[in-house]
Structure 1
Amino acid sequence: MSDPRVAEHMPLLKGAWTHEVAAKFVAAKEERWRSDGLGHWAILADDRYVGWGGFQKEGDEWDFGLVLMPAAFGLGARITRKAVAFARGDTRIPFVTFLLSPSRRNLAALDRLGATFVGKIEHDGATFLKYRLETR
């Protein structure tokens, strides 16, 4: 999260990524598991940590987020396809949303998944590109 190549696509990431900030962040993500029964996972490739991602409830919608270490950026589409397959098998998730930073330029993978552009939205004071993918 402290790598500038990661941070540039995370408009909600403000300030330095310290141990204290990281601990609060992890606690908030763990609370999502307790409150919603689903949340983010550590992502491994070849038994090595490459990032985190998963589903987070935003109101009545399940949003999918994925943050990868720069060396693993090429794994995003494959990881997202696996997550979407999970969502399609989970009756709690009739559709998935994706909130992407406007700095993101390569959005063709969302088109290939069948996601549709909803529009630009404001979330916690930042602008995002919102996409939606039906899972039923």
Structure 2
Amino acid sequence: MPPEIAFARLPDIPLDILVAHMSDPRVAEHMPLLKEAWDAAAARAFVAAKEACWHRDGLGHWAILADGRYVGWGGFQKEGDDWDFGLVLKPGDFGLGLPITRAALAFARSDPRIPYVTFLLPPSRRNLGALRRLGARFVEEVTHDGAAFLKYRLDTA
């Protein structure tokens, strides 16, 4: 039976859990913007930045739970005119990416502010079949904070 996916707020997750998650080298492997080691101060700043998005835009990144257990973080962040979807799972939970993405996209489809979603993926991500099966299409290669990303778009309307 698949786990029950739920979204919570990042401040609800103990900082030591976030530090352990983001300090795993398997996580950093596909995160070109993750350049510094994580400690409690970095986790606190991260949570504050993500909460600022909620206050500014009314939406942001969630802590993601599977059967009540923290498995990662992700959600929607306003990038210019785009609502970009990001997902960062704990290595032992990488297999939950598709069900979590489907749950998040169901949320996006019910929100009139989100006519489409973008995905910025590092070129190191080779397996993009699931993204294409969801209906996302390649838009262009972009540079964000000095790192290259592949930009995909999925209409939600």
- TM-score, normalising length from structure 1? 0.98
Letter in 2 for 1:52: W
Provide the C-alpha distance between the structure 2 equivalents of 1:100 and 1:41, rounded to a whole number of angstroms. Answer: 19
Letter in 1 for 2:123: P
Secondary structure in structure 1 of the residue aligned to 2:111: coil
* Alpha-carbon displacement from aligned partner over 1:40-83 (angstroms, at most 9, x marks no partner): 11100111000001000001110000000001000001100111
Provide the C-alpha distance between the structure 2 equivalents of 1:92 and 1:131, rounded to a whole number of angstroms. Answer: 19
**Residue 102 (structure 2) pairs with residue 57 (structure 1):** no
User: Between Structure 1 and Structure 2, how many residues are aligned?
Assistant: 136
Secondary structure in structure 2 of the residue aligned to 1:114: coil
For residues 113-124 of structure 1, the aligned pairs below 5 Å read 113-124=134-145
**Residue 38 (structure 2) pairs with residue 17 (structure 1):** yes
**Residue 115 (structure 2) pairs with residue 94 (structure 1):** yes
Any gaps of 5 or more consecutive residues in structure 2?
1-21
1:46 maps to what in 2?
67
Provide the C-alpha distance between the structure 2 equivalents of 1:111 and 1:11, rounded to a whole number of angstroms. Answer: 22
* Alpha-carbon displacement from aligned partner over 1:88-110 (angstroms, at most 9, x marks no partner): 11000000000011111111111
Runs of 4+ with >4 A deviation? none
Provide the C-alpha distance between the structure 2 equivalents of 1:23 and 1:79, rounded to a whole number of angstroms. Answer: 24
1:135 maps to what in 2?
156
Shift of 1:12: 0.7
- TM-score, normalising length from structure 2? 0.85
RMSD between aligned residues: 0.6
Secondary structure in structure 1 of the residue aligned to 2:44: helix
